[in-house]
Amino acid sequence: MTAHRTARLVLSLLAGFLLAGTVATVTATAAQAEDGYRFWGYYQWTNGQWAFSQKGADAYVPADGAVEGWRFALGGAKPRVPRAAGDFEAICGKTPAETGKKRVAVVVDPGTPEDAAAGETPGQATGTCVVTDPASNGAKILAAVGPVRIEKGLTCGVAGYPAKGCGDQVKNINVPATDAQVTLQIGASVGSSAKPSPAASSEEDSSTPWTGIIIAIVVVALLAGGGLILSRRRSAAK
């Protein structure tokens, strides 16, 4: 086992212990000061709730129709799961299935301002449908959503957030009893080979150039005809 894989396994196991009992909702209790870590947690949507992944993203291969979740947070003795449900239909429902590929919905939640390190500002939680090879693992799928910063084999930044730091220990953190749910910003699907059909021009728009040309021809013909008649009348008058 390489040093990178060892480091990833250690942090995953540590996070698993810290996030024991990973469920989407927990019983509200008073926030208590404790020591924890600031990191990206990796989850799968299972049986209607988020569950902390028992494998690293480079070792887990989600199936077609799966929902992957990433949440940046201060992790203590309770789960800090993504703050939105893993709704596959909402994220991938408008993306057509493709032969020989799979669709995986990915929820990326940068967390709250309280989770952020000094000088960092988390963005909005997003949902992205990734169309990819059936053998693609969680790491490859996440990389399709946005740039991933890896240090010592660990996922440290997603789409530029945070800009620095990786699994930093934080003393005396106050983890809220619950996290308010958020609405995902659903982005365009990635990896799909299907191209959107061009917007069809209206019949009126498509006929406009020809209509103008025909009108111009008629006007010229009328003017020419009128001129010819006027010329003949003048000749007759002479």
Q: Within a 13 Å sphere around the CA of 56, how many CA atoms are in the beta-carbon half?
A: 17
Predicted confidence band at 213 (pLDDT cuts at 50, 70, 90)?
Answer: very low
Strands of the chain, DSSP E: 33-46, 49-52, 67-75, 102-109, 126-132, 148-151, 154-158, 168-174, 185-186
Residue with tokens 């106050």: 174
What token pair was written down for 87? 């709704």
Predicted confidence band at 214 (pLDDT cuts at 50, 70, 90)?
Answer: very low
Residue type, 65: G
What are the tens digits of pLDDT across the range 39-83?
A: 999 999 999 999 999 999 999 999 999 999 999 999 877 779 999
Residue 215: pLDDT above 70?
no
Angle (CA) 104 80 129, round 5°: 15
Neighbours of 13 (CB within 10 A): 11
Report d(CA 35, CA 192) in Å as an integer. 43
Domain boundaries, the chain: 3-186, 197-238
90-110: average pLDDT: 98
Report d(CA 54, CA 39) in Å as an integer. 16
Q: Which helix (H) or strand (E) holds 140?
A: helix 138-145
Mean pLDDT of the chain, nearest integer:
78
What token pair was written down for 119? 């000088």
Neighbours of 55 (CB within 10 A): 15
pLDDT at position 173: 86
Residue with tokens 């789960």: 79
97-126: average pLDDT: 96
Residue 99: pLDDT above 80?
yes
Residues forming a β-bridge with 150: 155
pLDDT at position 33: 65
Chain centroid, CA 181 distance in Å: 17
Residue with tokens 């993504």: 82
**pTM for the full predicted model:** 0.70
pLDDT at position 195: 55
Neighbours of 103 (CB within 10 A): 22
Q: Which residue has the higher pLDDT, 125 or 29?
A: 125
Q: Region of 195 please: left (phi>0), alpha (psi -120 to 50) or beta.
A: beta
Residue 231: pLDDT above 90?
no
What are the tens digits of pLDDT across the range 135-170?
A: 999 999 999 999 999 998 999 999 999 999 999 999
Residue 190: pLDDT above 60?
yes
Compute φ and ψ for 132, nearest 5 degrees: -150, 175
Pairing of the two strands 185-186 and 126-132: parallel
